[in-house]
A and B are shown apart, each in its own frame.
Chain A
Amino acid sequence: MNQSISVAIAEDEPLMQSYLQETLKLLGHRVQCIVSTGRELVERCKAEKPELVITDIRLPDMDGLTSAAEIYASEAVPIIVISAFHDAELIERAEKNHVLAYLVKPIKQQDLEPAIAIAMRRFQEFREMRKEADNLRQALEDRKPIERAKGLLMKRAGLDEPEAFRRLQKLARDKNQKLIQIAQVIVTAEEAFQKSM
């Protein structure tokens, strides 16, 4: 059930680096890279596209939330931050920057394990939702030429709406094309005729 995930880690403390490395391996994950600055994290994530990012909030060059925002801007990826601070302002910023889990030090293996599982699941759900939204948006976009083609058929061939739609469907079947393609052809043809007139 627990799949192996490739993880990028940003942590400037050597002890914490080895702890995270060892613990993640123990949990069955792959540590793709382990860096100590925010800049490196951003670059390595862009190049290597890990499946999960774990970052300390306090890094020597920039804070973990800023690097999280930068990584997220180029590629959606689940991000877990680890912090010694937990004031409302930081947590709010973390939420805005797509951070899926905010762990307060000291953390244990038994905190890390469910946090990773939940972050991965949330991210999956989020991705599915986004896909669904994209599909809906596309469907809505497709509707426009179909409606216009239908309108043209009604005007030119004197059909009513159901008849016009049936004719579009029949054409698509006969030509073995998608409805949207047929509709686009009709709309283009109309434009061609209008220009010649």
Chain B
Amino acid sequence: MDKKKVNVLLVDDQPAKRLSYQSILECLGENLVSVGSGREALQYLLNNDCAVILLDVVMPDMDGFETATLIRQRPKLELTPIIFLTAYSTSDLDRMKGYELGAVDYVFAPVVPEILRAKVSVFVELYRSRHELAHANEMLRMEISERRIAEQKALQAERMAAVGQMVTGLAHESRNALQQIQSSIEMLSRRIQASPEAMLLGEIQKAHDRMHHLLEDVRGYAAPLNLSCDRFDVSRLWGEAWKRVVKTHPDLVATLHEHTQGLDLNCMVDKYPMEQVFYNIFENCLNGSRRVVKIDLRCSPAELRGESALRIEVCDDNTDLTPEQRGRLFEPFYSTKTTGSGLGMAIAKRIVEAHHGHIAVTKCPSPGNAIEVILPRGAP
């Protein structure tokens, strides 16, 4: 029962003989297909595979040998075994020699049921084991390719970790150098405040600040993330992030409207990186061209991989992304703005995913785009 039935093709022009072969082979429990001519046999073989073909030699129109020749011409059927059913005659035996290279056998009339049954069942078993082997082979091949992918991933992770360590080291060393630049700028500017050259110092200061932010962003993106999570009310985190982000945009009139609907806002998070996520999302909202920005933050219950989660949607009326921009928002170094490193959203994605969460661009109810963050509540 657990074995799949295989096809056995029976070709004979006489219905009575077909019936007798059928009754002999029935007890093998395979799928017997009987056809009345070579042409029908070829037709059937176009779309079906079979374990063995029983071929009557003497048939009108196209005899068994002709049919066999045509069957053998098809590459797919080259190896399909053929059993010729024939009355004993020397001339037939001579002609059969031509087929001896392929898997060919013959059964002489009058047919001895045991012999026919035994021969068919040998070919059926052969077919079956060949298929099982092919299947096992396929599984092995899949396993090998899976392993190869896993190996590549591990290698890539290793490489990323090395890059992360390098970048962390680079950031540390650069901070010392940047500090020297900063100290010198400030001390010099105190001395030459009144002179026109002071303007140049302003330019150096700006370049220093850009360099500083770029390095911090790259570090944030590449440095290893070692999370240590605690149950935390995430509204406190976005509150802190909002306070900080607003400070960096003194020229904007920005308001944050929170709609938490009385939900439990506790999730297992590492508070510093998660605050960074909100900071980067807000920064992405504010870093546009408008002077007045209104941000809506909505919470709703969600599910992630069958576990309870919290959905936080941040919607602003400031950014309206094209589909292309929407697709590439989380790519590192992709930016639609002239300022910033283009790493903010990539960093946010990295941190959210390290928390086993989900982040995506969605559509706002009002015009504009929303960033959706889904955080699992339980232990990541």
The answer to whether B186 touches A23 (Cβ under 8 A) is yes
Q: How far is the CA of A107 from the CA of B184 in the complex (A)?
A: 12
Residue B178, interface by CB 8 Å: yes
**Mask of A13-25 contacts with B, CB within 8 angstroms, 1/0:** 1011011001100
Task: From known contacts A16-B179, A84-B172, infer whether A106 and B186 are also in contact, taking CB-CB under 8 Å.
Answer: no
Q: Does A104 contact B (CB under 8 A)?
A: yes
A106–B178 CB distance below 8 A: yes
CB distance from B202 to the nearest CB of A (A): 14
Give CA–CA (A23, B186) in the complex, Å: 9
Task: Knowing A85-B172, A88-B228, A106-B212 are in contact, say whether A19-B186 is a contact too (CB < 8 A).
Answer: yes
CB of A177 closer than 8 Å to a CB of B: no
A108 with B190: CB separation less than 8 A: no
| Chain B positions within 8 Å of A109 at CB level | 186
Cα–Cα, bound, A85→B187 (Å): 24
**Range class of the A interface residue count:** 10 to 19
Separation of A16 and B179 alpha carbons in the complex (Å)? 8
Give 8 A-B contacts (CB < 8 Å), ordered by A residue: A15-B183, A15-B184, A16-B180, A18-B187, A84-B179, A106-B182, A106-B208, A107-B179
- Chain B residue at smallest Cβ distance from A23: B186
Chain B positions within 8 Å of A15 at CB level: 180, 183-184
Q: In whole Å, how far is B74's beta carbon from the nearest beta carbon of chain A?
A: 68
**Contact digits for B131-174, partner A, Cβ 8 Å, 1 yes 0 no:** 00000000000000000000000000000000000000000110
- Contact A88–B187 (Cβ < 8 Å): no
In the complex the two chains form, what is the Cα distance from A1 to B219 in whole Å?
Answer: 39
Interface string of A58-89 (1 = CB under 8 A from B): 00000000000000000000000000110010
**Would you give the shortest CB distance from B167 to chain A, in whole angstroms?**
13
Could you say which of B179, B183, B190 contacts A26, with CB atoms under 8 Å apart? B190
B175 on the interface (CB 8 Å rule)? yes
Q: Is B226 an interface residue (CB 8 A)?
A: yes
Contacting A at CB under 8 A, from B108-136, are none
- CB contacts under 8 Å to A, within B171-217, are 172-173, 175-176, 178-184, 186-187, 190, 208, 212
* Residue on A nearest B224 in the bound complex, by CB: A87
Among candidates A13, A18, A88, A104, residue contacting B175 with C-beta atoms closer than 8 Å: A104
A131 at interface, CB cutoff 8 A: no
B contact face: mostly helix, strand, loop, or mixed: helix
Chain A residue nearest to B208 (CB atoms) is A106
Q: Of residues 151 to 185 in A, which have CB atoms within 8 Å of B's CB atoms? A: none
**A residues whose Cβ falls under 8 Å from a Cβ of B:** 13, 15-16, 18-19, 22-23, 26, 84-85, 88, 104-109
Q: Which residues in A have their C-beta under 8 angstroms from that of B190?
A: 22, 26
Contact of B176 among A23, A26, A84, A108 (CB under 8 A): A84
The answer to whether A106 and B181 touch across the interface, beta carbons within 8 angstroms, is yes
The answer to whether A105 touches B186 (Cβ under 8 A) is no
Whether the pair B187, A19 counts as a contact (CB closer than 8 A) is yes
Contacts of A104 in B (CB 8 A): 175
* Residues of B in contact, count (CB < 8 Å): 19
Q: How far is the CB of B209 from chain A (nearest CB, A)?
A: 9
Tell me the complex Cα distance, A129–B52, Å.
Answer: 95
Nearest opposing residue in chain B for A104, CB measure: B175
* Smallest beta-carbon distance A115→chain B, Å: 15
Tell me which residues across on chain A come within 8 A of B183, comparing CB atoms: 15-16, 18-19
Cβ distance A158 to chain B, nearest Cβ, rounded Å: 59
A109 to B228 Cα, complex, angstroms = 33
Distance in angstroms from A193 CB to nearest chain B CB is 60
Measured between beta carbons, the chain B residues less than 8 angstroms from A18 are 183, 187
- Chain A residues whose C-beta falls within 8 Å of the C-beta of B186 in the assembled complex: 19, 23, 108-109
Q: For residue A16, which residues in chain B have a CB less than 8 angstroms away from its CB?
A: 179-180, 183
Residues of A within 8 A of B184 (CB): 15, 19
CB–CB B176/A105 < 8 A:
yes
Give chain A nearest CB distance to B219 CB in angstroms: 10
List the 6 closest pairs (A to B, CB-CB), nearest first: A19-B183, A84-B175, A106-B178, A106-B182, A106-B179, A105-B175
Q: Is the CB of A106 within 8 A of B175?
A: yes
Map CB proximity to A onto B222-235 as digits: 1 under 8 Å, 0 otherwise: 00001010000000
Within the complex, the shortest CB–CB distance from A14 to chain B, in Å, comes to: 10
Distance from A28 Cβ to chain B, minimum over Cβ atoms (Å):
15
Q: Considering the chains assembled together, what is the distance between the CA atoms of A18 and B191 in angstroms? A: 14
B122 to chain A, nearest CB (A): 71
Chain A contacts for B212, CB-based, 8 A: 106
Shortest CB-to-CB span from A7 to chain B, Å, is 17
- Report yes or no: B178 in contact with A105, Cβ–Cβ below 8 A: yes
Which of B179, B186, B208 has the most A CB atoms < 10 Å from its CB?
B179
How many angstroms from the CA of A15 to the CA of B177 in the assembled complex? 11
- Judge whether B179 and A105 touch: CB under 8 Å: yes
Query: Complex formed: what's the CA distance from A196 to B208 in Å?
Result: 85
Report chain B residues within 8 Å CB of A88. 226, 228, 272
Nearest to B205 among chain A residues (CB) is: A108
Would B172 and A108 count as touching, CB distance under 8 A? no
Q: Nearest-CB distance from B288 to chain A (Å)?
A: 26
